[in-house]
Chain A
Amino acid sequence: SQTIHQWPATLVQPVGSPLSLECTVEGTSNPNLYWYRQAAGRGLQLLFYSVGIGQISSEVPQNLSASRPQDRQFILSSKKLLLSDSGFYLCAWSPPWGQENTGELFFGEGSRLTVL
């Protein structure tokens, strides 16, 4: 069966510090991968998605970046965090386009980032 893990689960970082959140998927190959952010009490905002290794599409311009160095690994990074980067970050995967699937997204447990 497929599983998705992301870490760290929580972190507190000072303004201006770097960020690295990691997400890995197991039990599937060539998944579509996604990073979402959820501010306190708000809905989910799509940040990045990837349909393959090295292929990243950005939905929102900001000081965050994403990378996909391996098929089932998705990393969210920042060189200098802002206060507004605080939130709940969620990684998700879906089967690749073309395969029989419902388009369902499977979400990780989330990473709660507080920038002070």
Chain B
Amino acid sequence: DAKTTQPNSMESNEEEPVHLPCNHSTISGTDYIHWYRQLPSQGPEYVIHGLTSNVNNRMASLAIAEDRKSSTLILHRATLRDAAVYYCTKRGNNAGNMLTFGGGTRLMVKP
């Protein structure tokens, strides 16, 4: 089963850090954790992914729990343009490279 669990919504103030949590308790040892975000009326865009170690890129950081059953996407300084729905997904270990998306977290950023 490829389900992940995220809070429906979160609020943040501009210029403050944001920690978006995700539970993926059924993750298998070879599944990668991916994060995407979606702006209104657009397709999702890739944010970051990881397997076991914490990851950083220009958009965000990904902190993965030691047991890999949860992860946290960290936006270090939220901007108004970061307001979007953030999806935590697992990449299945199969030829289809499928990603199954849950409901995501709607992040609202207040000026």
Contact = CB atoms under 8 A, between A and B. Distances in A.
Interface residues of B, number: 23
B95 A105 contact: no
B50 to A, nearest CB: 10
A92 B46 CA distance: 12
A45 B91 CA distance: 14
Interface stretch (A63-71, A75-83, A106-114): A106-114
Nearest to B103: A43
* Chain A facing B: main interface SS: strand
Contacts of B45: 107
Contact of B104 (A43, A57, A109): A43
B100 A103 contact: no
B73 to A, nearest CB: 15
B43 A110 contact: yes
29 contacts: A32-B96, A32-B97, A34-B98, A36-B101, A42-B103, A43-B87, A43-B101, A43-B102, A43-B104, A44-B87, A44-B101, A45-B101, A46-B100, A46-B101, A49-B98, A59-B98, A90-B43, A94-B97, A97-B97, A102-B49, A103-B97, A103-B99, A104-B34, A105-B36, A105-B44, A107-B44, A109-B42, A109-B43, A110-B42
